[in-house]
Chain A
């Protein structure tokens, strides 16, 4: 059965796409709006700007891929679709970070979980971070709009066995759980969302807003890395970019983008890094600081029956039992989810080598994995990390302190209790020195005594937020509550870097909804000016 490929079809009928790797001489392009990045923020902004009749250029550092090239193998997906071939780590190597790098950004490779911004986060931002106008009520129509646009609805299928274990554990213990809403249409339920959807069911930016913008005449420039923002006084007057080769190294060809308005949607690492490289004014030293990850710890469990965690919707159940239990500013809470189980992902995020590792991998199909995403950025001792520039790019310094480790220990205990309650035979907290635990009482004792430390405990993250926070007070924010720069008339930020804290929830729908609001307000203003 042939699968419709909107990218291949669109290119064939004449969309404006420039693959910068093929550009051999310097190029200057001009439009009403230039958007840097094509992920959750850039994609939504591009569609709204183009719909408003404005001319748009989308500049993306990664390649333009389509379902044609999504072959459900990690060895192709990671180098093609992820930042640093999915091997990105924090400065001390203690946290592995998964972030998308292709047209569609992380939405091309995420696991489809769609959650509105939690009330607790919005209330905290309003009270503590000078954010105005973003409440559950004011954002509701924007979330509703994006849910409709991206086919976001509750996943009504039976959860796969991996997610079912989370549900059964919660039911047995009387813990809260929720059926996840997913952004899919005509999903085949194969479980390969993280490698690019091979059937174009996932309603990522790659198959929704970017094609819609291109249909309306927008220009997409892929494999172009914006290196510097050029400005004078309170105006941005251009973006300098480097064309990248097929392997994403600079070819030496320079590109220049000029616009009436510039939108940075490069994500919570690259937006601040670009601002820092360009030496934008930052009188209060805010850019790149308070970057948040939802640092995540993992618990493996062996079941007697086949879990087949690679098959079926990767995430369809979550539990918020422990996220806000101590209040927003109290001890760090954690969200319980399950990740899909694929060979490289699991081989690299487990411990050891040789026979013990081979034995664990041999039980691959019996392995259930639960993850706890720690809600960072609210407690005074949870200041997140800091983006720093290096000779070749950037690094993220993200110290893991006691406040985090205390949450991690509680999370390991919750995950083990949950997995045993769901019928696990054995549970393995993924941290050096731990062995398979055979019962909840044994696990409880072992987890209370286990050593937790950077590089000893596996910590990962697929959510990067903050670093260019919004708010009305310039002493704690770089942009206002509509994403407009405090320092430049014609600069906006529309991505996860806006968030003053982490969310305590998977970020894609928050970025969609808040960007839809801000981009609509901006488009109205730009149209009035033109």
Chain B
């Protein structure tokens, strides 16, 4: 996936938003914060990375699967207990602010401006970090994304899995 496709895919279905807007929004970019109230844009960047290889090859199907997954993520988050949801919200908010990004990734570059390889590098750093906080951040996001993706029956085709039909 080249960078341009990646950005287009990431933006499809979520509208033109900018991460890091709190401190970094250029005045000429119109941002509707309401549209990003559930972190859709952030997940539209992370979902293709976590699910690379699992998402359909055909672009329209891939975009549909990503959007479906983002909807499922929002639904999953609503079901989490207060403590877990608060922790996750904190993490997501940090990732959406430049100071938070600096803290978590060592760089203030908004995630939107990072290539897939740079995002993978970020996840790998967290995954192998000696700081438990980084590892749990990686694991929390990973579990949320993969669980939400495989929750959807329309994503089971590649597994050759379907639930039994008991009653006709």
Residues of A within 8 A of B (CB): 1, 3, 71-75, 79, 84-85, 87-89, 92-93, 188, 190, 192, 198-199, 247, 310-311, 343-344, 347-348, 353-359, 361-362, 364-365, 390-393, 395, 432, 454-456
Contacts and interface: CB of A to CB of B under 8 A. Distances in A.
A55 B128 CA distance: 57
Q: Which secondary structure dominates chain B's binding surface?
A: helix
Interface of B: 49-54, 72, 76, 78-84, 120, 123, 127-128, 132, 135-136, 139-140, 142-143, 145-147, 149-153, 156, 158-161, 163-164, 166-167
Nearest to A455: B135
Nearest to B167: A1
A347 B139 contact: no
Interface centre among A87, A192, A310 (most CB of B within 10 A): A87
Contact of B161 (A79, A343, A358, A455): A343
A362 B52 CA distance: 13
Given A354-B120, A358-B52, A364-B159, 11 more contacts: A85-B80, A87-B81, A188-B166, A310-B161, A347-B147, A348-B143, A348-B146, A356-B53, A357-B54, A359-B53, A455-B136
Contacts of B132: 92-93, 454-455
Contact of B82 (A79, A310, A358, A392): A392
Chain A binding site: helix, strand, loop or mixed by DSSP?
loop
Contacts of A393: 81-83
A354 B152 CA distance: 18
A93 B136 CA distance: 7
5 contacts: A87-B81, A87-B84, A353-B49, A355-B53, A364-B159
Contacts of A72: 163-164, 166
Contacts of A85: 76, 79-81
B49 A73 contact: no
- Return the 5 tightest CB-CB contacts between A and B, nearest first: A358-B53, A355-B53, A75-B151, A358-B54, A343-B150
Contacts of B159: 343, 361-362, 364-365
A343 B83 contact: no
B53 A344 contact: no
A269 B145 CA distance: 28
A393 B34 CA distance: 31
A355 B51 CA distance: 7
B82 A353 contact: no
A363 to B, nearest CB: 9
A344 B123 CA distance: 21
Contact of A344 (B151, B163, B166): B151
Contacts of B151: 73-75, 343-344
Contact of A355 (B52, B72, B158, B160): B52
A92 B133 CA distance: 9
